[in-house]
Amino acid sequence: MSEIKLVFDEIKPKKKAPEHLADLTIAERRAKVESLGLPAFRANQIATHYFTHYNEEPNSWSDIPAAMRPLVAEHFLPKLLTPIRQVECDKGKTRKDLWRLHDGVLVETVLMRYKDRTTVCISSQAGCGMNCPFCATGQAGLTRNLTAGEITSQVVAAARACASGELPGGPTRLSNVVFMGMGEPLANYNAVMKSVRNIITPQPDGLGIGARSVTVSTVGLVPGIEKLTSEDLQITLAVSLHTPDDELRDTLVPVNSRWKVKEVLSAADKYVAMTGRRYSIEYALIRDINDQKWRADLLGRLLKNRHAHVNLIPLNPTPGSKWTASRKEDEIAFVKTLEKYGVPVTVRDTRGREIDGACGQLAAANKA
């Protein structure tokens, strides 16, 4: 089946993005520094500027000799993201950044400041090949995978915005990263894992964000979940289930024709067994499509003995969509039913709706 083949095809950019510090392991950074004729300790300085000070301008680095800076800039810090547009809402506490990549491709990032945390929602691919009919990104198809450098740079830009006090409320620390922007992270596995390592490795070699504060969200690519399990990291796994029955899921999440609900949940259960981390079930509530009482009952029965938490997302209708969010009373009834089964459940807020920065609304390619 062609749509399945897409899942593990490596979609390469026509011209590869220039190699960046964030594409390399710690050992590779050192080796590259030495191959350029520089002492190995420079690798540590470069990493410190990037991961600790979020400074991507070697011209301003006073601990590197001026004559050496252009070489360092060219080989370790090529500009991967060019800011194109920034839109805000919630009095600036939610902000969407549109970036252009080296080959003209566009991706989006959403930064959200809450009372107790600041979260960045990043893209792992330009577009997405999973074709979920209710998701704006899914409508445009997949353009290409992002590199680890392109993914990590979105997080570094967010960390810098937080530290420099760009968000209302003064300087703060970027505390959470969610792979819930454009793309299916497990279909770009290697680059995503490299960027996860950059995010969770302590400073100065990484950003030092706690693994538990990093969430990878997937449509349910079982081999990808299995691979992730074998990494034995403390990151949070989110599974976009959207309905407990295969019949409807085959249409809402087309990849379900390959990996059924039971297989996806059993892969997620193994993730719990390995990591001890409860997973999250993402469920977009769509009026009269997947919000019936009987579906809530079925979901409750399916999850009651599992270590899962349900995150209900009121559907953000995409332009031209025939679907809309559930009625408030149906949403409340859905929550109550799940609670009856003892399944932990929350309803996600709809931050960023007015700027098309909310869940499932990222579709940069259409709007440029």
Catalytic residues: 108, 359
- Contact between 143 and ligand SAH per CB under 6 A: no
DSSP 142: E
The minimum distance between CB 7 and ligand SAH, in angstroms, equals 11
Q: Looking at 218, 229, 290, 337, which residue binds ligand SAH (CB under 6 A)?
A: 218
Is 316 annotated for ligand binding? yes
Is 2 annotated for ligand binding? no
Of 240 and 256, nearer to ligand SAH (C-beta) is: 240
Please choose, from the candidates 134, 298, 283, 154, the residue with its C-alpha nearest in 3D space to the C-alpha of residue 220: 283
Instruction: Determine the 3-state secondary structure of 265 from DSSP.
Output: helix
| CA distance to 7, 170, 188, 290, per residue, from 195 (Å) | 19, 27, 11, 34
Is 241 annotated for ligand binding? yes
Q: Looking at 237, 313, 364, 365, which residue binds ligand SAH (CB under 6 A)?
A: 313
- Contact between 318 and ligand SAH per CB under 6 A: yes
Instruction: Determine the 3-state secondary structure of 118 from DSSP.
Output: strand
- Contact between 225 and ligand SAH per CB under 6 A: no
- Residue 142 sits at φ, ψ, to 5 deg, of -90, 130
Tokens of 231: 């990494």
Q: Looking at 316, 345, 357, 364, which residue binds ligand SAH (CB under 6 A)?
A: 316
Angle between the 189-200 and 148-163 helix axes, to the nearest 10 degrees? 30
Of 102 and 227, nearer to ligand SAH (C-beta) is: 227
- Contact between 192 and ligand SAH per CB under 6 A: no
Beta bridge partners of 112: 94, 119
Q: Among 27-35, 49-57, 67-75, 211-219, which window interacts with ligand SAH (CB under 6 A)? A: 211-219
- Contact between 105 and ligand SAH per CB under 6 A: no
- Contact between 184 and ligand SAH per CB under 6 A: yes
Q: Looking at 47, 359, 363, 364, which residue binds ligand SAH (CB under 6 A)?
A: 359
Residue whose pair of structure tokens reads 């198809």 in the numeric block: 141
- Contact between 315 and ligand SAH per CB under 6 A: yes
The minimum distance between CB 304 and ligand SAH, in angstroms, equals 21
Q: Binding to ligand SAH (CB under 6 A): which residues in 8-37?
A: none
Position 294, amino acid: W
Instruction: Determine the 3-state secondary structure of 105 from DSSP.
Output: coil
CA-CA distance, 209 to 48, in Å (whole number)?
15
The residue number whose beta carbon is nearest to ligand SAH equals 360
CA-CA distance, 260 to 278, in Å (whole number)?
20
CA-CA distance, 354 to 50, in Å (whole number)?
33
Q: For the CA atoms of 335, 341, 343, 348, what is the dihedral angle to 10 degrees?
A: -10
Position 54, amino acid: Y
Is 135 annotated for ligand binding? yes
DSSP letter for each residue of 348-361? ---TTGGGT-STT-
Tokens of 66: 């001026």
Of 53 and 353, nearer to ligand SAH (C-beta) is: 353
CA-CA distance, 209 to 202, in Å (whole number)?
7
Position 358, amino acid: A
Q: Binding to ligand SAH (CB under 6 A): which residues in 235-254?
A: 240
Residue whose pair of structure tokens reads 């950074």 in the numeric block: 29
- Contact between 221 and ligand SAH per CB under 6 A: no
Q: Are 252 and 132 in contact (CB under 8 A)?
A: yes
- Contact between 135 and ligand SAH per CB under 6 A: yes
Is 217 annotated for ligand binding? yes
Q: Among 88-96, 104-112, 192-200, 313-321, which window interacts with ligand SAH (CB under 6 A)? A: 313-321
- Enumerate residues 6+ apart whose C-beta is below 8 A from 224: 186, 187, 189, 218
Q: Looking at 38, 180, 302, 310, which residue binds ligand SAH (CB under 6 A)?
A: 180
Is 198 annotated for ligand binding? no
Of 45 and 195, nearer to ligand SAH (C-beta) is: 195
Binding-site positions for S-adenosyl-L-methionine: 183-184, 217, 240-242, 316
Residues that bind ligand SAH (CB under 6 A): 130, 134-135, 180, 184, 217-219, 240, 282, 284, 313, 315-316, 318, 359-360
- Binding-site residue ranges: 128, 132, 135, 183-184, 217, 240-242, 316
